[in-house]
Amino acid sequence: MRTNPRDWRIEDLKAVARKYAIEFRQHGTSHVVFRHPGSGMLTVPAARPIKPVYIRQFVQLIDRGESKE
């Protein structure tokens, strides 16, 4: 994700979120909200393809969470 922020799907982000214990929710909306305790929250549109800016922000969310643990 870090080297190629293009062509990711929302299912891919959810799988990575599960691995890093990042909570997420999508209650019938067009956006998914990812939340990591202590490192913040990120709202990502579920449209395909996901824009690279959201992938970069998702990686930053993971990095912030990992640095605080």
Overall average pLDDT of the 28-38 stretch:
89
Query: What is the pTM for the complete model shown?
Result: 0.88
Q: What are the residue boundaries of the structural domains of the chain, listed by start?
A: 10-68
Handedness of CA 36, 63, 69, 18 (dihedral sign): positive
Give the pLDDT band of residue 28 (cuts 50, 70, 90): confident
Give the pLDDT band of residue 31 (cuts 50, 70, 90): very high
Query: CA-CA distance, 65 to 57, in Å (whole number)?
Result: 12
Buried b (16+ CB within 10 A) or exposed e, 2-30: eeebeebebeebbebbeeeebebeeeeee
pLDDT recorded at residue 68: 65
Place of tokens 């992938």: 55
Place of tokens 């909570």: 23
Give the pLDDT band of residue 7 (cuts 50, 70, 90): confident
Domain 10-68: CATH architecture, name and number where available = 2-Layer Sandwich (3.30)
